Amino acid sequence: MRVLQPAGWPRPKGYSNGIEVRGRQIFVAGLIGWNAEEKFEAKDLPGQFEQLLHNLIAVLAEADAGPEHVVRMTWYITDKQAYLRDAKRIGEIYRAIMGRVFPVMAVVQVVALMEDEAKIEIEVTAVVPD
């Protein structure tokens, strides 16, 4: 994997501007922060985010992959202010589960998600090197 960082650009915090990679591709549908029984244990954004990352790790494991293989994440959040207010906690949760993995990333505020209780949904692309 090669991080694409143009000369003179400031290094982004928590993500990469671009990544070049070769290998077996894994596409993960939009995951939300409910448990295996499709119940929300957490009502807040950080709690749902933590469960969502555990869900992601479980899906990646089915392909013999892990967080280190994630190259792209698109986050859909329902409350930008909650995201900004809880950004430090969200970052702590991310690092505890994902480690020092900084994929290309976009965060988009949406009006709602398909599950009314959901605060966040993330879709992921992972690549396992050849």
Does the residue 62 lie in any domain?
A: yes
Domain residues for 87?
A: 14-129
Q: What share of the chain is helix, strand, coil (3-state, %, to 5)?
A: 30, 30, 40
80-100: pLDDT as tens digits: 999 999 999 999 999 999 999
Does the residue 25 lie in any domain?
A: yes
Looking up residue 121, the CATH number of its domain turns out to be 3.30.1330.40
Does the residue 63 lie in any domain?
A: yes
Does the residue 77 lie in any domain?
A: yes
Does the residue 3 lie in any domain?
A: no
C-alpha count within 13 angstroms, C-beta hemisphere, residue 127: 14
Does the residue 1 lie in any domain?
A: no
Total number of domains constituting the chain: 1
CB neighbour list of residue 96: distance below 8 Å, 6 or more residues apart: none
21-77: pLDDT as tens digits: 999 999 999 999 999 999 999 999 999 999 999 999 999 999 999 999 999 999 999
